[in-house]
Amino acid sequence: MATVTTSSSPATLRPCKQHASRGVVQHRPPCPLPWRRRRPRTTTTRTRATASSRGRQPSVDVDLAAAAGEEGDSIRRLQNGPDVRGVALEGEKGRPVDLTPLAVEVIAESFGEWLREELQRPEGEELRVSAGRDPRLSGARLSAALFAGLARAGCSVFDMGLATTPACFMSTILPRFNYDASIMMTASHLPYTRNGLKFFTKRGGLSPGDVEKICDRAARKYVARKMGISTGGGRGTPPVVMRVDLMSAYAQHLRDIIKRRVAHPAHYDTPLKGFSVVVNAGNGCGGFFTWDVLEKLGADTTGSLNLEPDGRFPNHMPNPEDATAMSLTRDAVLAHGADLGIVFDTDVDRSGVVDAAGAAINGDRLIALMSAIVLDEHPGTTVVTDARASEGLTRFIAARGGHHCLYRVGYRNVIDKGAQLNDDGVETHLMMETTGHGALKENYFLDDGAYMVVKIVIEMVRMRLAGLEGGVGSLIRDLEEPAESVLLRLNILGEPKYAKQRGTAAVEAFKEYIQEDKLSGWVLDDCGDCSVGEGCLVDTNDHPIDIDAYMYRAKLYDENKRSVGMVHIRQSVHNPNIALNMQSYVPGGCKSMARDLRERFLLASGVNEFVDISEVEKFVK
């Protein structure tokens, strides 16, 4: 069944090239598995000790590949799609620290070298790279390593201190800054013990393929460094780091957008006068939005909470998907009679809102709200989301004349799909994940929680100016929501280094069970120019996007061919587990789907031998 809706102009998206028959999807020629695409890791690379190390050591040829093995792989495993993520502080049971200062240094150096090659800048020519960070306790120490690595690669370093991820990208665009690249040190909503890196050039965030290349290079440097051999620049001089205040200029940039687009007839500079807005920054980086954007535009922000950065996140995780974050914000909105509540994640690349009536607008609801705004500005546009989105959302978008393209989980996948559709001539203005990552064509295809909120705030003011009642929440009143939605996490058993392989095996087994008709009633779901093949929602166009994780969406029909609900099954991006999202259209449907999966798939296939199914057991009881 096609899940792209083409309510008005069916020509914009290509039709499905495959059809499900009796629950079996016909295959197109298999696309290469990720590990087949990867460069073989056993290739011998000989690295000669560099000039800087010659004084200390004899010049030696080192067979890094032979040495790389487990040590090198510990660096490669830090790659999480387009980001680097790892454990930076002790405190997690069974997870040792792997994002060490040395790991960060070699990754930063490798990024600098990669950048020089990408921009074709000769050795010796200045490369200007900015760096920001969230308030995590490990940030200061790891930043020193980051600066050292960048300096080794010959980069000038501009330290922006506490910053947000979208601001880091904007430091490559805003005229006064105009850096060649930027790195944000954050692990987003993950526990305080983690940390990570996000990389940007003027073209946007790096692709997983680029980050893989950087981590591969870093792995070799890491092994060499551990052996006492200097590779790459090795200038040996302490980095020169310039402190810069980006956030004030960035806040002004956001204020200017709001002023310009509202163009308030009575008070242009204070368009938010008369509005009360509550912000919950979760002690992450989003507090600036309160005093440097909203208040300066005239809003009353009384009742805002958790604005002070605190790397231990003592109140709740900064995350619009976090139930506590949303309910505390709801309470504050209702207590202060606010017009809007805003919840940012740690590094502000995601957000959620609460309307004046206290309703949480996150997940599908946030996508619906953004779709309503964007479809008003760009009639007929395509909206790309991950395939965990509900069928109700598809109908909501279709009812406003839009097209809904469902794609793979992972914000980069969703954004890349949107960029690709635009390149193929399919106008696509909004790309959003159900996690709250959202990107707009008009905003550099950047996933940007602050910009989402800017759009919502502008809409709120425009609605009042137009005399419309009900606030922004009224824009999604007709969104149909599933009767139930449940997320279960199934831990992958055994050594973490085999988790990816095992996760793939489990997810693929699910697909095969359906294709071999061993799970009658279940049907694999596909959409638009993506179809179910290897790795779920494979592009059937000429330039398929690389598959970074395996996932499928399937629907269950009862014996009367009535739709019960759907599941989305995939490996987690961050942890050794399988995420099972279920949505049902009937009360009790999630339990019956889970029961069915337990008996006819998890136990029958033997997947339970390497995947812990206790969450499913608990749920069906």
Ligand X SMILES: O=P(O)(O)OC[C@H]1O[C@H](O)[C@H](O)[C@@H](O)[C@@H]1O
Residues with catalytic annotation? 188
Answer for which of 309, 410, 473, 589 binds ligand X (CB under 6 A) is: 410
HSE-up of residue 300 (Cα within 13 Å, Cβ side): 11
**Cα 468 to Cα 460: distance, rounded to the nearest angstrom:** 9
Nearer to ligand X, 149 or 449 (CB): 449
Phi-psi category of residue 449: left, alpha or beta, with phi > 0 → left and psi -120 to 50 → alpha: alpha
- Closest distance of CB 199 from ligand X, Å: 14
- Closest distance of CB 390 from ligand X, Å: 16
Site string for ligand X, 30-59 (x = CB under 6 A): ------------------------------
- Closest distance of CB 575 from ligand X, Å: 6
What residue has token string 């608990």? Answer: 618
Residue range at the interface with ligand X (CB under 6 A); choices 6-14, 259-267, 430-438, 600-608: 430-438
Nearer to ligand X, 365 or 437 (CB): 437
Nearer to ligand X, 170 or 190 (CB): 190
Residue range at the interface with ligand X (CB under 6 A); choices 194-202, 335-343, 361-369, 431-439: 431-439
- Closest distance of CB 162 from ligand X, Å: 20
Nearer to ligand X, 191 or 471 (CB): 191
Answer for which of 4, 150, 393, 409 binds ligand X (CB under 6 A) is: 409
Residue 433 binds to ligand X (criterion: CB under 6 A): yes
CA separation, residue 221 to residues 82, 96, 111, 121 (Å): 20, 21, 12, 21
Nearer to ligand X, 212 or 355 (CB): 212
Nearer to ligand X, 341 or 410 (CB): 410
**Cα 128 to Cα 180: distance, rounded to the nearest angstrom:** 5
- Closest distance of CB 87 from ligand X, Å: 15
Residue range at the interface with ligand X (CB under 6 A); choices 102-110, 119-127, 409-417, 508-516: 409-417
Cβ burial 258-287 (10 Å sphere, 16+ → b, else e): bbeebebeeeeeebbeebbbbbbbbbbbbb
Phi-psi category of residue 60: left, alpha or beta, with phi > 0 → left and psi -120 to 50 → alpha: beta
Q: Per residue, what are the HEC states of 511-540? A: HHHHHCCCCCCEEECEECCEECCCCCCEEC
Residue 448 binds to ligand X (criterion: CB under 6 A): no
DSSP state for residue 81 in the 8-state scheme: T
Residue 437 binds to ligand X (criterion: CB under 6 A): yes
Angle made by CA atoms 532, 537, 538, in degrees to the nearest 5 = 90
Q: Per residue, what are the HEC states of 25-79? A: ECCCCCCCCHHHHCCCCCCCCEEECCHHHHCCCCCCEEEHHHHHHHHHHHHHCCE
Answer for which of 475, 476, 564, 579 binds ligand X (CB under 6 A) is: 579
Residue range at the interface with ligand X (CB under 6 A); choices 163-171, 331-339, 404-412, 438-446: 404-412
- Closest distance of CB 190 from ligand X, Å: 8
Angle made by CA atoms 554, 556, 560, in degrees to the nearest 5 = 150
Which ranges in 264-321 belong to alpha helices (H)?
288
CB-CB contact of 455 with 442 (8 Å): no
- Closest distance of CB 579 from ligand X, Å: 5
Backbone dihedral angles phi then psi of residue 188, each to the nearest 5 degrees: 50, -125
With CA atoms as reference, report the closest residue to 384 among 297, 354, 393: 393
Residue range at the interface with ligand X (CB under 6 A); choices 167-175, 289-297, 429-437, 552-560: 429-437
Binding residues for ligand X, rule CB under 6 A, total 12
Tell which positions 282-321 bind ligand X, by CB under 6 A: none
- Closest distance of CB 483 from ligand X, Å: 23
- Closest distance of CB 146 from ligand X, Å: 20
CB-CB contact of 241 with 159 (8 Å): yes
Answer for which of 12, 74, 165, 188 binds ligand X (CB under 6 A) is: 188
**Cα 230 to Cα 502: distance, rounded to the nearest angstrom:** 37
Residue 522 binds to ligand X (criterion: CB under 6 A): no
Strands, E, within 186-255: which ranges? 194-201, 204-205, 241-243
Residue 385 binds to ligand X (criterion: CB under 6 A): no
Nearer to ligand X, 339 or 386 (CB): 386
- Closest distance of CB 572 from ligand X, Å: 3
Nearer to ligand X, 408 or 511 (CB): 408
Residue 400 binds to ligand X (criterion: CB under 6 A): no
CB-CB contact of 621 with 488 (8 Å): no
Answer for which of 158, 222, 288, 411 binds ligand X (CB under 6 A) is: 411
Residue 280 binds to ligand X (criterion: CB under 6 A): no
DSSP state for residue 602 in the 8-state scheme: I
Which ranges in 120-207 belong to alpha helices (H)?
139-152, 165-170
Answer for which of 3, 276, 381, 435 binds ligand X (CB under 6 A) is: 435
Site string for ligand X, 545-574 (x = CB under 6 A): ---------------------------xxx
Residues whose CB is less than 8 angstroms from the CB of residue 426 and which lie 6 or more positions away in sequence, other chains included: 12, 13, 382
**Cα 131 to Cα 177: distance, rounded to the nearest angstrom:** 12
Which ranges in 79-187 belong to alpha helices (H)?
101-119, 139-152, 165-170
Nearer to ligand X, 277 or 488 (CB): 488
Task: Enumerate binding residues for ligand X (CB under 6 A).
Answer: 188, 409-411, 433, 435, 437, 572-575, 579
